[in-house]
Amino acid sequence: MATEASGWHRSEDDQYWQFSGQIEIPDVDSRQYGLIKLENQLEVLLVSDPEADQAAVSLDVGIGHMSDPDDMPGLAHFCEHLSFMGTKDFPVENEYKNYIRKHGGATNASTSSKTTTYHFKVQAPFLEGGIKRFSAFFHSPLFSSSCVLREVNAVDSENSKNQQMDSRRLYQLWKSLSDAHHPWNKFGCGNKDTLLKGNIEDGSESRQRVMDWWQNHYCASRMKVTVVGTESLKVLGDLAYQNFSKVPNRSLGPLPVTKLPPWSTSSGPDLWFVKTVKDTQRLEISFPIPDQDSLYEHKPSSYISHLVGHEGPGSIFNLLHEQGLATTLSCGLHSAGRGVSLMDIDITLTKLGLGQYEKVLSAIFHYITLLPSALEEPYHFEELRKMAQISFANAEKYAPDAYAKTISQSMNGLYKRDHLISRGVKSWTFNRAHIEDIIRCMTFDKARIFVAAKSFDSMNVQSNWEKEKWYGTEYTKQSLNRDILSILTPEDHALLYLPERNPLLPESLD
């Protein structure tokens, strides 16, 4: 029998390790939770919900398109597509999807910059058949040669659809304008040109590259699984043991982390004008900030986004909306990859606001200068923490598949194992130094700014437009004078101030 590890003990039948701690869950949650670790070091969170109509499973691989090789953009995404094309145990191409659909379920997968997540839902009595077919993708996929060209075309079609989506176009432009050697610069979707290698008649080289990628990156010790079912924790644990123990542990070590910011902030503010497909006006600002992944028990980024993004009296949004310059404003943390954090401010401008974008920027940067004063009496943090704790304590049930996906992705974060569900909300503590670190990054000189619209004909914008490589988005860079910081009038300044105490905040919902 294996010896006991710190925080873990062996199951009674000695099949796997069990987490010894207590997982924090909402007060209203009647489900049972268990965390196990198989001999191949694959962790599985078990959720027993006897009242559920559907069961769900999600597996997070921990590797995304930031790890794509430079000569084959989109390989991680392509591997996601081709993984579904049959396994040694179930060689018929659509066996998995047909089984799930036959029993009232659905399948899906997604590839992001830092991870790839596979998941399905199915009527609760058919979980065992679903998990057998699903788990085989991670220990014995066929990557059938007959499917390669078709799946290349499927990825290419997906990319073509993205070509007309301004959100995708702007996202890729942010990436393409980052430092050329930074992994965030990569093109994650892929297309026919990037994925077809060698003999394009049969796709044999492309298939081999996918097989090599799977061999080099899909590793049990990096994978995290969530299983939601009506069965007991013991039965769910046995299902996980029987099916996921076969996944090979290649001893690849920790997941890759990128600590460098995606662009240099030493050259002053960067301003780009960007042409959109739709008739819309947007202003986006991004600031590289210290990595936030390990700071979840202090939530400095949430503190900043709460202040900048609020919409009450004194807020940036209230001023801009009252003056007819903006219709929406949001501020929040953007994880550009494992170890790479950005603080983003996104504003939907009116036509009038587009013409006065400099005033909009002036309002934003003036408000940022107010943030240090919020640290002198941090009641904002106490209010934020209280509301977050009340919300978690009374959280409603998510749909099983969305819940499983969210948890499996959290498992590949830096959360303590007892915080996988709560994400540490019960232990949030105010940390002035971490908040000050972010504020120091949110300066005029360190900002990267997009002003996006379908047309700039009425504005004095340079005409030397360039085209982004992957989506053809037109953009041009223009200097931004520090004089814009003094555009606001004294009356405008008086309308910008931090939110006051909320006297109506409840202690609980009891």
**pLDDT per residue as tens digits for the range 277-329:** 999 999 999 999 999 999 999 999 999 999 999 999 999 999 999 999 999 99
Helix, strand, coil abundance in the chain, percent, nearest 5: 40, 20, 40
Give the Cβ contact number of residue 397 at 10 Å: 14
In percent, the amount of the chain with pLDDT more than 70 equals 98
Coil, helix or strand at residue 43: strand
Contact 93, 147 (CB under 8 A): yes
Q: What is the pLDDT of residues 162-201, one digit of tens each?
A: 999 999 999 999 999 999 999 999 999 999 999 998 767 7
Which two three-digit tokens encode residue 225?
Answer: 């699984």
Residue with more model confidence, 353 or 462: 353
- List the one residue out of 490, 495, 488, 478 whose CA is nearest residue 356: 488
In this structure, how many other beta carbons lie within 10 angstroms of the beta carbon of residue 459?
12
Residue 45's contacts (CB-CB under 8 Å, 6 or more residues apart) are 33, 34, 35, 224, 225, 226, 227, 407, 408, 411, 420
At 119 the pLDDT is: 98
> Nearest CA to 238 among 408, 38, 420, 96?
38
The active-site residue out of 24, 43, 80, 284 is: 80
DSSP state of 249: -
Half-sphere exposure of 40 (CA within 13 A, CB side): 23
Question: Mean pLDDT over residues 373-393, rounded?
Answer: 92
Q: What is the mean pLDDT of residues 369-395?
A: 93
In DSSP terms, 477 is beta-bridged to 272
pLDDT, position 244: 98
- pLDDT at position 199 is 66
Question: Catalytic annotation on 80?
Answer: yes
Distance CA 348, CA 367 (A): 18
Concatenated DSSP letters of 253-276: -SPP---S-SS--SS--EEEEEE-
Q: What is the mean pLDDT of the chain?
A: 94
